[in-house]
Amino acid sequence: MTLPDGLRLRRAHPQDLDDIMWLEHVSFPTDAWSASQMSGELYSPHGYYIVIETVDEPAAPLVVGYAGLSSLTGNPVADVQTIAVAADQRGKGLGRVLFTELLDEARRRGVREVFLEVRADNPVAQSMYTAFGFEHIATRPRYYQPDGVDAWVMRAELPGPDAERSSGVGPIGQEALGERD
């Protein structure tokens, strides 16, 4: 899966907080995470956050998508924490690129099972997750507040370490350093 021209995928860093929070608030106006929650995620040693940003010169890069995964070291289970794509960038496959990279990182960490929650009123996201092999295993009533929207809990098993990775590259940034595995 490749990105359209003018965009790049990279590891998020704490300096991205303002850009991520802007996108968080426009994507999830009623139930956005707080800046302190997101900051904690960006600094967490258990998290893996990525962004897609514009790389058009001379404008400064603009974050147009982000996603995060959480997994404790050595734990075979991970959780997709969040994923968002700017409204004007939707329909271009950016969500799939972000999600593929999260699943690739989960595999690199030895994760065998991934969980996520998705709004019951978001069939586009549900469809994408299902296409990646996720199954709806439970419903959390009125999980998303203040809207009172149910959450679907979805789960997928990941292939073992000898299975072929979907992207074929190492962790983001390593390919530039010649450290591909």
Structure tokens at 112: 């065998």
Query: Residue 32's CB: how many other CB atoms inside 10 A?
Result: 17
User: Residues 6 or more apart from 74 whose CB is under 8 A from it?
Assistant: 110
pTM of the predicted model, to two decimals?
Answer: 0.86
Q: Stretch 150-171: mean pLDDT, rounded? A: 71
Over residues 18-54, the pLDDT tens digits come to 999 999 999 999 999 999 999 999 999 999 999 999 9
Residue type, 61: P
Cβ proximity of 45 and 33 under 8 Å: no
Structure tokens at 155: 């789960």
Cβ proximity of 64 and 53 under 8 Å: yes
Q: Is the pLDDT of residue 168 over 80?
A: no
